[in-house]
């Protein structure tokens, strides 16, 4: 990794804001000692509204919740910037050097994923978890998408995205699991049984759906690539915004309809889940873009931008340090005056504040960690 001083004026602030929003959601669930949303549900679960509390839970279930959007949105944004970054490199370097850069980046991301997941020295291959961390998903998806962007046009990328989404669905629909006589999906089926059994037949073992889901991690990033082809094109800003809103709505509608046949399930990263979440991500991108980069109203998004310009740095830091302990230096005494649920919420918010202030300091110093 290297430190670079970037020219923020050359960036689309809306993309940094969207990336930062996704990272904030990831941080606010369960890493860095700052589970803001979990403590929020404890604080308000019975009094606020059961529906709102459910939206902030993060468990294995069918359907869409607010808490499920963060990870696919982050993958979407990674794909979003690939056309811009690679096209810039093509203007400066030959393809061989670009391929070497891609391979280097993939290896570093996968290595960081092992570190963040706590499996760097888990040298027994048969027991090593595959895709234990989102950075591992990103590394594989980035390799595939980068090669496609360098060698194909948007039409080929679109066709391949559709093929991958259909392929993932077809595998679930047509490839049986030995010893499993149940239906492919039933609304009454225990989801844990569903996860452990409806996977690649002869290669089935506990958790093997994660390997299979690589297909849709790539699809997720490819949809970001396709939207990146639009937002970084030479079209007028108003035309870009209109296209993003249209495609976002189409993905959301298509995913909702497909979900009636191939359910929206986060834990399996189903094709309908990819379409619905990428549709929402595209609509958010269009909204951020028109408000921030077209109309020029960017101050409201500064909180997210600070996370977005250093997303890898804060993600790794959150996995390596418990910021709740640091936050308690400042609020530990205050929080102890309250009931346990309030205490947890105060400490989680303090941990989030510490993480943001560190990123803000790096922002002021114009220090941005890139791979």
pLDDT at position 49: 43
53-87 pLDDT, tens digit each: 444 454 545 556 766 788 999 999 999 999 998 98
Q: Which residue has the tokens 């234990």?
A: 132
Q: What is the mean pLDDT of residues 142-152?
A: 94
Whether residue 163 is predicted with pLDDT greater than 90 in this model: the reply is: yes
Whether residue 282 is predicted with pLDDT greater than 60 in this model: the reply is: yes
DSSP H helical segments within the chain, as ranges?
Answer: 13-30, 36-44, 50-55, 70-80, 82-92, 95-117, 134-151, 154-174, 191-197, 209-212, 214-231, 237-258, 271-288, 302-308, 311-320, 323-335, 340-364
Longest dimension (CA), the chain: 62
pLDDT at position 37: 67
pLDDT at position 212: 75
231-269 pLDDT, tens digit each: 999 999 999 999 999 999 999 999 999 988 888 888 788
Q: What is the mean pLDDT of residues 202-229?
A: 79
pLDDT at position 124: 55
Q: Mark 63-90 as b/e (b = at least 16 C-beta within 10 Å).
A: ebeebbbbbbbbbbbbbbbbbbbbeebe
358-369 pLDDT, tens digit each: 999 999 999 898
The pLDDT confidence band at residue 186, using thresholds 50, 70 and 90, is: very low
Three-state DSSP at 368 gives strand
The pLDDT confidence band at residue 273, using thresholds 50, 70 and 90, is: very high
105-144 pLDDT, tens digit each: 999 998 898 888 777 766 555 445 455 678 888 999 999 9
**288 touches 18 (CB < 8 A):** yes
Nearest alpha carbon to residue 289 among 360, 239, 234: 239
Number of domains in the chain: 1
Percentage of residues in the chain having pLDDT higher than 90: 46
**148 touches 225 (CB < 8 A):** yes
As given in the structure block, the two tokens for residue 368 are 């941005």
290-305 pLDDT, tens digit each: 999 999 999 999 999 9
As given in the structure block, the two tokens for residue 126 are 């048969």
Long-range contacts of 342-349 (CB under 8 A, 24+ apart): 342/43, 344/39, 344/42, 344/43, 345/36, 345/39, 345/40, 345/42, 345/43, 347/33, 347/39, 348/33, 348/34, 348/35, 348/36, 348/38, 348/39, 348/324, 349/34, 349/36
Three-state DSSP at 147 gives helix
pLDDT at position 94: 80
Give 180 or 322, the one with higher predicted confidence: 322
Full residue range of the structural domain in which residue 215 is found: 2-370
């Amino acid at each position: 990794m290297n430190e670079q001083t970037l020219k923020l004026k050359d960036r689309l602030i809306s993309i940094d804001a969207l990336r930062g929003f996704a990272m904030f959601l990831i941080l606010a669930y369960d890493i860095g000692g700052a589970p803001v949303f979990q403590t929020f549900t404890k604080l308000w679960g019975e009094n606020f509204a059961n529906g709102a509390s459910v939206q902030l839970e993060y468990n294995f279930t069918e359907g869409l919740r607010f808490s499920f959007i963060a990870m696919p949105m982050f993958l979407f944004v990674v794909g979003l910037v690939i056309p811009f970054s690679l096209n810039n490199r093509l203007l400066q370097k030959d393809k061989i050097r670009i391929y070497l850069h891609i391979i280097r980046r993939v290896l570093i991301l996968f290595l960081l994923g092992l570190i963040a997941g706590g499996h760097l020295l888990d040298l027994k291959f048969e027991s090593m978890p595959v895709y234990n961390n989102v950075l591992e998903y990103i590394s594989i998806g980035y390799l595939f998408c980068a090669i496609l962007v360098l060698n194909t046009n948007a039409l080929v990328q679109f066709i391949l995205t559709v093929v991958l989404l259909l392929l993932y669905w077809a595998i679930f629909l047509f490839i049986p699991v030995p010893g499993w006589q149940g239906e492919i999906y039933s609304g009454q089926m225990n989801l844990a049984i569903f996860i452990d059994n409806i996977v690649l037949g002869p290669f089935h073992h506990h958790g093997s759906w994660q390997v299979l889901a690589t297909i849709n991690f790539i699809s997720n990033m490819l949809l970001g690539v396709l939207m990146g082809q639009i937002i970084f094109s030479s079209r007028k800003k108003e035309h870009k915004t209109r296209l993003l809103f249209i495609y976002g709505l189409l993905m959301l509608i298509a995913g909702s309809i497909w979900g009636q046949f191939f359910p929206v399930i986060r834990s399996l990263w189903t094709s309908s889940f990819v379409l619905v979440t990428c549709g929402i991500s595209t609509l958010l991108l269009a909204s951020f873009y028109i408000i921030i980069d077209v109309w020029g109203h960017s101050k409201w998004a500064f909180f997210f931008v600070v996370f977005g310009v250093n997303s890898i740095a804060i993600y790794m830091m959150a996995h390596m340090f418990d910021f709740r302990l640091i936050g308690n230096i400042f609020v530990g005494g205050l929080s102890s005056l309250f009931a346990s649920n309030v205490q947890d919420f105060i400490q989680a918010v303090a941990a989030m504040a510490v993480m943001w202030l560190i990123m803000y300091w790096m922002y002021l110093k114009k220090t941005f960690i890139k791979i």
